[in-house]
Amino acid sequence: MFSKLVFTTFCGLFAVSVLAQEELIKFGNFDSWITRSVKESLLVGGKTQTLYEIGPKGTFDGARAYSNQGGSPWGNSNIYAKVAGVVKTNVSVFPDAHKGGQCAKLYTHLVSCKAIGVVNISALASGSIFLGNIIEPITGTSNPMSKMSLGIPFTKRPKAVKFDYKFYSPGGERIRETGFSKRQKVSGKDMGQVICLLQKRWEDADGNIHALRVGTMHKYFSQNTSDWKEAQTFTIHYGDITGESYFQNSMKLMSGVNGFYALNSKGKNVPIQEEGWAEADETPTHIILKFDSSHGGAYVGTIGNTLWVDNVKLVY
């Protein structure tokens, strides 16, 4: 009887210990959202659009540039653009239902711009959520990555990222459509993705941001899932992993204008220059975590690709 009691008590303590090793990222259960009502310019139709932001439940004045509210670490690809005085929006991230609560739905679609009832341009936009923020208002269409400040301060060393997900792709043509050139067919299969990078960053006297890669995790979503994949865990690999069997080109160091950007101490969004691999026992200064309904960069994807994400945690 005593042994059974000890065993039961041990199991109970172990369960608590396991739970204590999982950290839900703030607002990572996606059960509360901020709504923004933005009236687009009459020149492009004059409709009022609802944009969704991840944070404490509430509203935000749609006539102002958005910044993260209530301590939320999450940004997304819903944007308020004001180009030459013309207001236009994109909405590719939405709340959706999951397990009695809500989740984040990321959607790849065409954004059309109509002037006086005539379609002038259309561009492909994928859904993204990430730790960081969008620099609003968007004032141009060149280099969309430069409008996102990716990553937040972070000094822990998690073993993995854990979340629920569901993925759907209609399997149609993968395209690149920027709105200012003819539609191009892109080879390969479009997939959803998640990337987690741990970095040790520093800034030089000129405001350039440098980094060493401490930890790496990347996962493509290529297969349609009719049901949710609950509590899926993906390992973060530390140090130089270029010689490992699981290393993929998508895990390589990123630098320059085609990589990720972050705000420097001067308030300017600049490229993050990853200059090498940190030692495997190094402590990071920042974490990047980003989910996308399509991979391959800006304006590239398959119309209709959809990724649902919920309950995003770090595992220790």
The structural domain count of the chain equals 1
Per the omega criterion (within 30 degrees of 0), is the bond before 158 cis? no
Q: Domain span at residue 36?
A: 24-304
CA gap 300, 105 in Å, rounded: 18
What value does the mean pLDDT take over residues 194-215? 98
Does 230 map to a domain?
yes
Please write the tens of the pLDDT for every residue from 99-140. 999 999 999 999 877 665 544 678 899 999 999 999 998 887
CA–chain centroid gap for 69, Å, is 17
CA gap 156, 286 in Å, rounded: 9
With CA atoms as reference, report the closest residue to 177 among 187, 189, 185, 165: 185
Does 17 map to a domain?
no
Tokens matching residue 257: 């204008």
Does 19 map to a domain?
no
Q: Has residue 11 got a pLDDT over 60?
A: no
Q: Has residue 79 got a pLDDT over 80?
A: yes
Q: Are 148 and 206 in contact (CB under 8 A)?
A: no
Does 315 map to a domain?
no
Of the pLDDT bands very low, low, confident and very high (cuts 50, 70, 90), residue 14 is very low
Does 312 map to a domain?
no
Burial class of residue 193 (count of CB atoms within 10 Å of its CB; 0-12, 13-18, 19+): buried
Burial class of residue 83 (count of CB atoms within 10 Å of its CB; 0-12, 13-18, 19+): middle
Length of the chain equals 316
Lowest mean pLDDT segment, chosen from 21-30, 66-75, 184-193, 252-261? 252-261
Residue type, 4: K
Does 6 map to a domain?
no
Does 10 map to a domain?
no
Q: What was the pLDDT predicted at 305?
A: 98
Give the CA angle between residues 269, 274, 276 to the nearest 5°. 165
Question: What DSSP letter does each residue of 199-228 carry, written as one string?
Answer: EEEEE-TTS-EEEEEEEEEEEEE-S--SS-
CATH number, domain of 172, equals 2.60.120
Greater model confidence, 19 or 68 = 68
| Count of C-beta atoms within a 10 Å radius of residue 305 | 27
Q: Has residue 147 got a pLDDT over 60?
A: yes
Q: What was the pLDDT predicted at 139?
A: 83
Q: What was the pLDDT predicted at 240?
A: 98
Q: Are 163 and 23 in contact (CB under 8 A)?
A: no
What is the percent of the chain with per-residue pLDDT over 70, rounded to a whole number? 91
Q: What was the pLDDT predicted at 117?
A: 53
Does 96 map to a domain?
yes
CA–chain centroid gap for 314, Å, is 15
Of the pLDDT bands very low, low, confident and very high (cuts 50, 70, 90), residue 212 is very high
Q: Has residue 10 got a pLDDT over 50?
A: no
| Count of C-beta atoms within a 10 Å radius of residue 248 | 11
What is the percent of the chain with per-residue pLDDT over 90, rounded to a whole number? 74
Greater model confidence, 42 or 248 = 248
The strand pair at 160-168 and 152-153 is best described as: unpaired
pLDDT, the chain, mean: 90
Q: Has residue 4 got a pLDDT over 80?
A: no
pTM of the model: 0.91
Q: What was the pLDDT predicted at 86?
A: 85
Tokens matching residue 57: 């439940």
